[in-house]
Amino acid sequence: MPRKIPAGNWKMNGLQSTLSELKTLEDKHGDADIAILICPPFTLISACEDTPFDIGGQDCHTAESGAHTGDISAEMLADAGASYVLVGHSERRTDHGETDALIAAKAQAAYNAGLIAVICIGETLQEREAGKTLDVIDTQLAGSVPDKADAQNTVIAYEPVWAIGTGKVPTTAQIADVHAHIRRRLQDRFTDGAEFTLLYGGSVKGSNAADIFAVPNVDGALVGGASLTAADFSPIIVALESA
């Protein structure tokens, strides 16, 4: 069965003082039966190592090392205490022009370093309105997911770009359609495609989490702003534990 994962992406937020939120979260969910993933900024990864949560980086370079000023390698993330890394987040695709091929290379670098790659895919509002959602998903899955992916080293996160941080959320029927399509494509390509964890990301919060987690093939969430405080993230974790 796919693992249940509530994943918090702090993005470019968080200072040493923010770590008190993790202590509060630990008091509430330190013995949770599901794997809670926190992806803080690179500067806080080592400081999070003593928590009971899984820790992930928000990006990595394709190379192990070298003259790449300002970048960080998957090996460095692992050395700092991370066990996961996000690749292909829509903000990286948009802000940095990342291609499917580059994202696949980053995922492979994650595998090489022993990290689990959370590969993000999703359509823009323009693509959704043009009826191209599933075509975009097919292209991104084919180009961003390496051939060496499996259910143990890869998580797929569907994040409709138009729903990230906007408060807009697809209907449960729309989420169900896309997640079912992703599952079919993974099963077509990989022998363990039925076991991949599929996360939904896009304005997930405590008030809508239970409805989203009731959707077939939704195994967790990739949460942005609502993961920054224990008060906001805890209800999402509770909803997933109950799903």
Residues annotated as catalytic (active site), given as ranges: 89, 159
**8 Å CB contact between 200 and 236:** no
Q: Is residue 23 left, alpha or beta, with left meaning phi > 0 and alpha meaning psi from -120 to 50? A: alpha
Burial class (CB in 10 A: 0-12, 13-18, 19+), 232: middle
Q: Sign of torsion, CA 233 236 237 238? A: positive
Helix (H, G, I), strand (E, B) or coil at 69: coil
Residue type, 101: A
Q: Can you tell me which residue has the tokens 């009731």? A: 214
